[in-house]
Amino acid sequence: MDWSTDFSGKSAFVTGAGGGMGLAVATGLLNAGAEVTLFDLKDAPEGLPQGATYVQGDVSDNAAMSAAIEARAAASGRLDYLVNAAGVLWFERDKSAVDMDLDVWDQVMSINLKSVVHSVRSAVPLMKKSGGGAMVHISTIQCLRGDTAPQDAYQASKAGMVALSKSVAIQFAADQIRSNVVFPGPTLTPMQQRWYEDPSKGEAIADYVPLKRLGTPEDMANACLFLLSDAAGFVTGTELTVDGGITALP
C-alpha cells in the first residue's frame, strides 16, 4: 500500500499553515484526500486544494484555536490529525537568556510552546471520539545543542515541545492517540530565509550538510505525513531527525 496517498476520509488541523513547513504538510494532506483546516496569522495562500479551510488566527489565543479545532471536527464528523508547525524565531530579539528581554522570552514561549498545549487540549477529546489519532509537532535540531549565536527562548521552547509530546504519547496511548516530533535541520523556509539571503552563506551551510543541500518544506512534510500515517502505527513518543546528517557529524 502507498501510505502517502491513504488519507481519504481523514480530518486534520495544521497550525503555522500559512507558509513554509506547515503549508507543505497541509498541502500534502489535502492532495492525499484529507480535509484540512489551516490556521495561521498570515493571509491565506493562493491555490489551496479542495478540502481546505483557512482560518486566520493567533495560536496564542486559546479560544480562537479551540473554536477552529472544534469546527474542523464538526465539519468532518471527526478529528484524526494535529500538526503543530507554528513558531517564531526572532533573531534580533531572541538572544542569550542572560541578556534578552524576558518579555520576549514569554512571548516566544507562548507562541512556540503554550500554543501546543492549547491545540492538544482541544484535540485529544475529539480524537478520542474518533477512535484515535496522531499528532506531529515540529521542533528543531537546535534544541539538542548549544550555539555561539544563541536564540535561547526558541531553543528552550522547542525542547519543551519534545517533553510535552512524550508525555502526551504515554498518557493517551491506550486511546490510540500517537504523538511524535520532527527535528528539522536547516531548511529553505520563510522563517529561516535570512540565513540564506546571501547566496554564499547558503552555499556554505549546504556544504556543511553531509547530503550537501539544504532541506525543503517538502522534506519535512514527507516526514510528518509518514508519522501521521498508518505506516507509523507503532511509532509514538519519539523524534524523527530530518537534517541531512548534521547531527550525525562528529
Query: Do the Cβ atoms of 51 and 34 come closer than 8 Å?
Result: yes
Q: Are 65 and 118 in contact (CB under 8 A)?
A: yes
Task: Look at residues 37, 59, 183 and name the one whose alpha carbon lies nearest to residue 121.
Answer: 59
Rounded Cα distance between 121 and 32, Å, is 26
Q: Which residues pair with 181 in a beta bridge?
A: 137, 239
- Specify the 3-state DSSP secondary structure of 190: helix
The grid cell for 186 is: 536547516
DSSP for residue 184: E
- Is residue 196 annotated as a catalytic residue, yes or no? no
* One-letter identity of residue 18: G
CB atoms within 10 A of CB 90: 16
> 54, 81, 154, 196: which is the annotated catalytic residue?
154
Contact between residue 55 and residue 37 where contact means Cβ atoms under 8 Å apart: yes
Catalytic positions: 154
